[in-house]
Amino acid sequence: MTRDEITALIGARGAEAEELRREADEIRRRGVGDVVHVRGIIEFSNYCRCHCAYCGLRHDNAGLERYRLEPPEIVDTAGFIASLGFGTVVLQSGEDMWWTAQRLAGVISDIKAATGMAVTLSVGERDAADYRLWRDAGADRYLLRHETADPELYARMHPQASLENRVRCLENLMELGYQVGTGCIVGLPGQSAESLAEDLLFMQRLNIHMGGPGPLIPHPDTPLGSEPAGAVETVLNMMALVRLLIPDIMMPATTSLETALEGGRMAGLQAGANVIMPNLTPRSVAAKYEIYPGKKAPGLDVHTEIQRVRDLIDAAERTMGTGPGHSPRACLS
Ligand code: SAM
């Protein structure tokens, strides 16, 4: 597919958009089957040193009450997730330097020893040495969205950070043998369809294992507080295009999509997605991980959230994955 064709399809609406998503659904079925992989997320710290213009965890958001789970609480929560029969835990946080590489490595190896689950990390930009330590401790996967592949837009959205360093981190993670996930935010101010096409080509060039786009949900206590939310139609087209460009990708129907539109996760599953990531952060702190307002899951108790995910997968006439649910490409290597 050429860049121009991709750009045109990003803006597709009506019958053309439906056809695109139907095609992606078919390629998903042939490429990775009908299984939906479930990854339980633990958001273990909302401290963050960054200044991302869209994110409620940004360092300058003085209105946010900060928390940090203790290592044993994280390991216990992972044990609970394993007891539910799930094969992957995702450990996510802001860029919290209290978490030295050694500390987090201890948690990773304790979870591996106690549960054998696949461990996915999503803790931001670190040195290659930190990524290596965590890989050696047993981490299998790493999620680091590139957010936007447009260097100027990236610089505007991320004061004190650069796309160059983000890409370097992604390359280091790939070299270390992680299954790597990336993706972009749809709806950043000044973002064009051409820029979104570049996001898709970036993901294809990197040959990533996981990821996809999600909509901007404006947070009132950030510089983007009065921007409109990212268009769900555009996100769904982008997801379908990701599936066409990288047929074996593990792609989530995100919580942000459900927040932007009731039923968004179902629409995502029908537009190429094959992963759901329920929020299983202990409810004593979950509401404080406020990257954007109105996050769907923390309002529900953990068991209700899990039941919703089961019902969603049933309603989509798909089956829930068991085991770690590795990328098909990782299984071959
Ligand atoms: N600190 C880690 C990092 O930088 O990758 C992980 C945590 S960060 C909060 C996880 C993701 O949340 C980001 O990659 C970003 O795409 C998303 N995010 C943050 N604020 C958002 C918002 N207002 N709307 C949509 N997505 C948002």
Q: How confident is the model at residue 5 (pLDDT cuts 50, 70, 90)?
A: very high
User: b or e along 57-71 (b: 16 or more beta carbons within 10 Å of the residue's beta carbon)?
Assistant: bbbebeebeebbbeb
277 band by pLDDT with thresholds 50, 70 and 90: very high
What is the position in ligand 1's atom list of the atom closest to the CA of 222? 23
Any atom of ligand 1 within 6 Å of the Cβ of 211? no
- Does the reported pTM lie above 0.85? yes
User: pLDDT at residue 295 above 90?
Assistant: no
For position 333, what pLDDT does the model report? 52
CB-ligand 1 contact for 259 (6 Å cutoff)? no
With a 6 Å cutoff on the Cβ, whether 216 touches ligand 1 is yes
Amino acid identity, residue 201? L
Ligand 1 binding pocket includes 147 (Cβ within 6 Å): yes
Q: Which is higher by pLDDT, 333 or 113?
A: 113
Q: Express each pLDDT in 202-258 by its tens digit.
A: 999 999 999 999 999 999 999 999 999 999 999 999 999 999 999 999 999 999 999
Which residue CA neighbors atom 8 of ligand 1 most closely?
A: 94
Mutate to test the pocket of ligand 1, among 43, 145, 167, 227 (most ligand atoms within 8 A of CB): 145
For residue 137, pLDDT beyond 60: yes
- 135, pLDDT greater than 60: yes
263 C-beta neighbours (distance < 10 Å), count: 12
* Cα distance between residue 296 and residue 289, in whole Å: 12
Q: Is the CB of 292 under 6 A from ligand 1?
A: yes
Q: With left for phi above 0 and alpha for psi between -120 and 50, is residue 112 left, alpha or beta? A: alpha
Residues 47-71: what's their mean pLDDT?
Answer: 98
Q: How confident is the model at residue 300 (pLDDT cuts 50, 70, 90)?
A: confident
